[in-house]
Each structure stands twice: as C-alpha cells, then as structure tokens.
Chains A and B, each alone.
Chain A
C-alpha cells in the first residue's frame, strides 16, 4: 500500500539530547513537510522541501533541522536547542508544493523525560 510511514510512534528525549524522527513515503511525491501540533492548536509548519536536496524553513524552524537526500525520506532532528519539544509531530507529502492536498503520516508523539 502507498503511504507515509512515520517512526517511532512514541519518542522520549532526555535533556540536552538530539533525537531524529523518521518519515518515509512511497507515493513518489516531490514535496514533503513537517508540522508540529500542540493540544488545542493548529498545525504549525517547521520545514518543507519541494524537491530532493532542497528545503526551506517554515514558521517555527528554530531548534530543528532536516535533510532531503532522497525523494522518499525527510527526517527531522529535534536538537537540544529546542527548549519545548513536547508535541505531536506530523510528516506530510504532496505531489508538488503548490495547490495540492497533503497526505499525512500517523505522527510521532515526542515527550521530554
């Protein structure tokens, strides 16, 4: 089945630690996105990538980093500089970046120990 796979489903971070969230898609989509969702809030864009080897900062990129070395993969690293990382992280993809619907993964819940 085609889709977006996020792993792990739950992740715990110790203070000062960097953690990486995985996102893989087999939809052959060019564009991929990372959103952060806090309780009662909308989805806020962290980073997005329109094409392999290219990505742009979203609205809340500070404390996060990404890479897009392969079309299928768009991992997100939450660095120790992100002081409030507890949230639900959603990866999404679309055929192209503009005027297209998003397909979301099932999300990763990150908590701080």
Chain B
C-alpha cells in the first residue's frame, strides 16, 4: 500500500513546454514537500506546502487538502530541469515518499 502516488512515472518534454507532475496521498498530513533529485543523486528541497499555492521562479506548487492532491508545475521548461521530482508527505513526525517522476527536457 502506497501512501503517496505520483504520476506520471516518466515524462519527456521539449524545451519551453509547460509541465505538470501530480501527487495524490491517502493519509492525513501536516505538510507536503516537493523535492528535486539531480542525476548525480543530490536532493534539494523545492517547496513545503500545507495549503494553497507557492511560486519560486518558474516552479509553482499547489495543494488541495480536501482532494488530497498536489501538483508541481514547471513553466518554460529547460534541459537543466531534467531530474527526478519527488513528492513527500509529513504526518506527525513521519515522512512518506512517492517513487518519483523522472523528467527529461530535450533541447
């Protein structure tokens, strides 16, 4: 049983395209995180959300608590956005992670 489901698993886009990655979860949460894992393996925290919407540069993250769903959008995608994007939910002091969406942006 997966507490966190992401879609799609793999995504290939042309440079400049608008990208959406989806995350659904089945547990009550105190916060949802979006993480980026680079091809070299390092992980960077992109957003932490408990409601509404956040924007950082070309990245936008939204969450709908009632529907238990979050989306990560990338506008004007660029090859340097190629990475694995991971959704994680925090319930109490525990974390549950999605298996990630592997994004490749082609020039």
Decide whether A and B assemble into one complex.
no
